[in-house]
């Protein structure tokens, strides 16, 4: 399986983001859900930086300098903002401040809300914005939720059903995704870890275009192990 999109989610340390982006990752996920241990605090309008989070590790995180964020986004990777039942105005503000290329919705957002959000962003703020709708999966029955979103979003993300909103590190049976026959492509998520490269190479679905990586590659919430990610990506692309 050749995955077009590799997304590393739950990041917030600027230097860590630079190191992960250098591995050739396509998408970097920033979580704007306040109850998440990987929450990215809001910053002033168009500051162009990632906040300085002291205490995440023994090194002082290095915030992106003003303007550097958008420059890096254009050339190396795209950023994904993750939201859970947030107010549209908060999402729009984050899209503008952090130069987001994708909005990922992890709650019970309705198709009407999604359409209104897109109309607010397109064409004046981000003409090419992409919207991802996360669907929590434990059985084929859960995939029926996709039907209401077809035609309203650009990508699905199939994550493990759990008490929270992703980042649990728990897996589900990927074979249930055989029941998904919709036209919208999706990202495979849910507890993918360093030992799953071979399993991912063997996974095939006509609408699967990428994978989402998070907690299994962390040294602490929001901090990714760059060496583990590098080794995993080498194994994933092994012929």
Query: pLDDT digits over 65-81, tens only?
Result: 334 444 444 447 999 99
Determine the pLDDT at residue 147: 97
Mean pLDDT of 184-190: 96
Determine the pLDDT at residue 164: 54
Determine the pLDDT at residue 161: 78
**Mean pLDDT computed over every residue of the chain:** 86
In this predicted structure, the answer to whether residue 182 has a pLDDT above a threshold of 80 is yes
- Bridge partners, residue 186, by sequence: 156, 208
Query: How many Å apart are CA 26 and CA 57, to the nearest integer?
Result: 25
Query: How many Å apart are CA 46 and CA 94, to the nearest integer?
Result: 9
Residue 80: DSSP 8-state: E
pTM: 0.86
Range with the lowest mean pLDDT among 24-28, 60-64, 98-102, 128-132? 60-64
Cα–Cα separations (whole angstroms), residue 199 to 131, 195, 202: 27, 8, 5
């Amino acid at each position: 399986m050749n995955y077009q999109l590799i997304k590393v989610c739950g990041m917030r340390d600027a230097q860590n983001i630079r190191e992960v982006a250098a591995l050739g990752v396509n998408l970097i996920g920033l979580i704007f859900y306040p109850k998440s241990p990987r929450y990215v605090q809001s910053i002033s309008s168009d500051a162009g930086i990632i906040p300085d989070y002291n205490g995440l590790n023994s090194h002082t995180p290095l915030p992106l300098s003003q303007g550097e964020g958008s420059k890096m986004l254009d050339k190396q990777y795209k950023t994904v903002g993750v939201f859970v039942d947030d107010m549209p105005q908060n999402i729009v503000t984050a899209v503008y401040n952090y130069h987001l290329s994708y909005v990922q919705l992890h709650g019970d957002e309705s198709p009407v809300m999604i359409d209104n959000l897109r109309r607010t962003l397109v064409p004046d703020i981000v003409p090419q914005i992409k919207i991802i709708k996360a669907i929590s999966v434990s059985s084929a029955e859960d995939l029926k939720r996709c039907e209401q979103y077809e035609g309203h979003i650009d990508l699905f993300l199939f994550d493990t059903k759990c008490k929270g909103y992703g980042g649990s590190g728990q897996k589900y049976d990927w074979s249930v995704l055989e029941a998904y026959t919709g036209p919208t492509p999706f990202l495979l998520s849910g507890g993918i870890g360093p030992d799953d490269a071979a399993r991912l190479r063997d996974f095939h679905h006509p609408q699967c275009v990428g994978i989402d990586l998070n907690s299994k590659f962390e040294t602490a919430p929001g901090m990714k192990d760059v060496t583990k990610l590098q080794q995993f990506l080498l194994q994933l692309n092994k012929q």
